Structure 1
Amino acid sequence: MVKQTNVKNRKLICDKLLTFQTQLEADYSDKLYEVSRKRYAQIDDLENVHTGFKSAVKREVKSLIPFSDIYKETIKLSFERVDAQYQKVEREYKEIWKEYSDNLSLNWSILAPAVEGMATFCGKVMRVLTSSNEEIDVSKLKSILYLKELNL
């Protein structure tokens, strides 16, 4: 009887965590969009956000789910979705950059070194000013708030 109740409760918790995973995926998309829309955003910035987001979510989820097996399963499934989404964004970013660099005209061959030098300098300055090295705060994300409301 107790075993049946435990199995039933586990299923109910896992069903509710599917909603969490879907919301987490949407929150992750918002974070990536927030970084990628910046003018000088590069693939390194996206990677920093990706790893920072994952570690922050892992810490937060660990404190909210007291059952280690359910916690591990939730993290595994959530990160599979997040990683797949990151790989898709990374692939699209690289394709766009390749198209852009392929479409550069040969008429720029004389001015290219000067323009490239200035762009590199401006890009480095802006990257220092808009660096995303600070820790990502996930406590106010909709998915985390939903998980807190579950009171597991």
Structure 2
Amino acid sequence: MATLLIVHHTPSPNCQAMLEAVISGAGAPGIEGVTVVRRAALAATASDVLAADAYLLGTPANLGYMSGALKHFFDQVYYPCLDATRGRPFGYWVHGGNDVTGAVRSVESVTTGLGWRRAADAVTVTGEPSKRDIEACWELGATLAAGLMD
């Protein structure tokens, strides 16, 4: 059975709505043989990353960067997971008040360094998520999970 690890930092209702849509998509009807594991960014470990086959990452944009919690996650797992996870698929979503450019750049930079392969377009949202934004988060979860089915 494949494992999809969702690592997130959800400090706001908007981030929570996006996370819930990603989780719903990952568990959509018809997706079989995939275990979805959720971890808050401050609780996720290198063991979680090594045990997973793909990753979904969620963060708010904070001061032009990913959240400190997601940065802490990457700091903890980078070297222990560097060689073993190279080439694994990932996707991510970012929420910001008015700009997510720096947060997107920071997530892309670290995942490129890890050698992870982006398996879906990022979902980026500023302001309150629209129905279309929530649907895009659902699709992100479904795409990553479906990609792990045998």
Q: Normalized against structure 1, the TM-score is what?
A: 0.29
Q: Which has the higher contact order (CA 8 A, sep 6+)?
A: 1
More helix by share: 1
Q: TM-score, normalised by structure 2?
A: 0.29
Which protein has the larger Cα radius of gyration, Structure 1 or Structure 2? Answer: 1
